[in-house]
Chain A
Amino acid sequence: MSVTSIRERMSGNEAVAEAIRQVNPDVMPAFPITPSTEIPQMVSSFIAGGKIDTEFIPVESEHSAMSAAIGSEAAGARTMTATSSAGLALMWEELLLAASNRLPIVLTLVNRTLSGPININCDHSDGMGARDTGWIQIYAENNQEAYDNYIQAFPIAEDKRVHLPVMICQDGFITSHAVENILLLPDEQVKEFVGTYEPEEYLLQPGKPIAVGPYSISAYAMEAKKAQAVAMENAREVIKEVADRFAQMSGRQYGFFESYRLEDAEYVMLIMGSAAGTAKQAVDELRESGVKAGVLKLRVFRPFPEKEIAEALKNAKAVAIMDRVESYNGNCGPLGSEVTAGLFRNKVFIDTVCYTYGLAGRDFTTDNVKEIFGELQGLVCEGKQVPHNRYIGLRTREEQ
């Protein structure tokens, strides 16, 4: 297939709305919340303008949005919703139900911090809070990836080996409200890629009744959870297959993560979301001054690609693991915990330093990246210890 791209410029929210227009899902129940509000707003405009025939359900809360999404997906309709922060938190109970009922719902999450203190800006506390709800989670660096990931979400979720909901995440304001260049795909190619949704079994099928979400006694519930965990395992190969098929259409190849200048890297930053672009820029500048720096930009957080990360990092001397969330666990953020455990389990014994950055919209700059690489070098070359779970860009008495 030859690659056709349409050169455009738009914000991350516009990019996702554009993908929704192209996919034309059957149902979208949604409740507005900053910074994802523009998405349901733009979808509503598309519906009002006759561009798509999605059934928009204005609900009274996100709890209802996810409940309606579950009902609608179980009824056989391709269903999606959008939310942020407290909205995702209010969906909590239903997120787990959507996954355990094996419903391929797609949720576009515009990452915003969870209160408190109350704040509207970006960090990953909402998505990370929902990390164990059974949803596949894919994070984007920019508007292009938010768009590309969204299009890949449906074929991943709806694959028979998977049948799990997918969360497509992008950084609130930083990418959702930033206008940047983007390459769009033609409508008909996106439609063909996503295909029509034809579930084998669903509620509204005359003569073929089904019961969704039955009470399950202890003799069955544990088996159901294991089967769900296996579906998450299966998602690995499906995510790769869908990415390969997407690459054929778009020329843009995705994996579990992007390895940026990793081949010979001695010092690596492992990071997720928009800050990865900043890290790549800083790494280019560091390379010019002779520092063998690299970036591992994690794209797929669930399922967690533990083995692949360990393999990619095995020749490095030290890795900075960057969490855009405070876990309040007396240890470090989720990436810090999971990456270090993964390295240990795979017998990759390199230095690791866990950092917390960018909470509630705190800016993260190329200078911050360079400072962190400096600390990694100090650790490896001079044995200078870095405090565990060090905060970046924090005001302290000591620094003043």
Chain B
Amino acid sequence: MRTDVKKINEQTPYEDLTEGLIMFAGATAKKFNTGEWRTNTPVFDQEKCRQCLLCAPVCPDGCIPVKDDKRLDFDYDHCKGCGICYKNCPFGAIEMVEGVEPPADRRTEA
């Protein structure tokens, strides 16, 4: 009865949708690249970042991955560009730039 969310779309006949549109699956949001809804894009300056990690918990979409006590670059597939992380960074290490794509030279290697 588990739902394969990738098999459901706006062309699916009613007989093939789940009962009550219940999602019999977890974390299905990952499978949709909502990052394309972005109009402003946060970019992250590794030089200025002190790894205080105040940014990660405030992200409403969980788009700031943390590994070994260090934040990595944004998950641009899901970041909607709300700017909360930018407002929260005490060190000016996050900048908002116009457009959906972060400038190529500003991307940090994961």
Chain A residues within CB distance 8 Å of chain B = 100-103, 163, 200-201, 208-214, 216, 219-224, 226-228, 231
Q: A200-B1, A223-B14 are in contact. Are A213 and B24 (CB under 8 A)?
A: no
The one of B1, B20, B28 that contacts A224, using a Cβ cutoff of 8 Å: B20
Is there contact, CB below 8 Å, between B21 and A214?
yes
A201 touches B24 (CB 8 A): yes
Closest-by-CB residue of B relative to A101 is B20
Which residues of the partner chain B approach A223 to less than 8 Å between Cβ atoms? 12-14, 17
Can you report 26 A-B residue pairs in the complex whose CB atoms are below 8 A from each other? A100-B20, A101-B22, A102-B19, A163-B19, A163-B20, A200-B1, A201-B1, A208-B26, A209-B25, A210-B22, A210-B23, A210-B25, A212-B22, A214-B21, A214-B23, A220-B10, A220-B17, A220-B21, A223-B13, A223-B14, A224-B20, A226-B14, A227-B15, A227-B17, A228-B20, A231-B19
The 7 closest A-B pairs by CB, nearest first: A209-B26, A223-B14, A102-B20, A211-B23, A219-B10, A101-B20, A226-B14
B22-A201 in contact (CB<8A): yes
Please name all residues of chain B whose beta carbon is closer than 8 Å to the beta carbon of A216 when the two chains form the complex.
21
| A99 nearest CB across to chain B (Å) | 9
A211→B25 CA distance, assembly (Å): 7
Q: Using a CB–CB distance below 8 Å, which chain B residues touch chain A?
A: 1-2, 10, 12-15, 17, 19-28
Contact A209 B27 (CB under 8 A): yes
Q: Told that A103-B20, A220-B17, A231-B19 touch, could you supply 7 new A-B pairs with CB distance under 8 A?
A: A100-B20, A200-B1, A201-B24, A209-B26, A210-B24, A211-B22, A214-B21
* Cβ-Cβ contact count across A and B, 8 Å cutoff: 58
A residues near B2, Cβ cutoff 8 Å: 208
Q: Report the bound CA distance from A102 to B24 in whole Å.
A: 13
Partner of A227, one of B1, B19, B25, B28: B19
The docked-state distance in angstroms from the alpha carbon of A226 to that of B16 is: 12
Nearest residue, chain A, Cβ from B15: A227
Given A200-B1, A209-B27, A212-B22, does the pair A224, B10 have CB atoms closer than 8 Å? no
Give chain B nearest CB distance to A213 CB in angstroms: 7
The interface residues of chain B lying within 8 Å CB-to-CB of A227 are 14-15, 17, 19
Docked Cα-Cα span, A212 to B21, in Å, equals 8
When chains A and B are docked, how far (Å) is the Cα of A222 from the Cα of B26?
Answer: 24
Residue of B at shortest CB range from A212?
A: B22
How far apart are the CA atoms of A160 and B8 in the complex, in Å?
Answer: 21
Q: How far is the CA of A100 from the CA of B10 in the complex (A)?
A: 19
Chain B min CB distance to A5 (Å): 37
Taking CB atoms, residues of chain A closer than 8 Å to B24 are 201, 208, 210
Closest chain B residue to A203, Cβ basis: B22
Alpha-carbon distance A73/B71, docked complex (angstroms): 40
B23 to chain A, nearest CB (A): 4
Q: Are B21 and A224 in contact (CB under 8 A)?
A: yes
Residues of B with C-beta under 8 A to A101: 20, 22
Contacts A200-B1, A227-B15 given: A212-B20 contact, CB under 8 Å? Answer: yes
* Chain A hits for B21, CB < 8 A: 214, 216, 220-221, 224
Interfacial chain A residues near B14, Cβ < 8 Å: 222-224, 226-227
Measured between beta carbons, the chain A residues less than 8 angstroms from B19 are 102, 163, 227, 231
Chain A residues near B28: list those with CB within 8 A.
211
Measured CB to CB, the closest approach of chain A to B74, in angstroms, equals: 25
Distance in Å from the Cβ of B7 to the closest Cβ of chain A?
A: 14
- Which residues of B lie under 8 Å from residue A231 when comparing CB positions? 19
| Cα-based distance from A214 to B24 in the complex (angstroms) | 11
Interchain CA distance A216-B20 in the complex, whole Å: 10
Name the distance in Å between A101's Cβ and chain B's nearest Cβ.
5
Closest beta carbon of chain B to A195's beta carbon, Å = 19
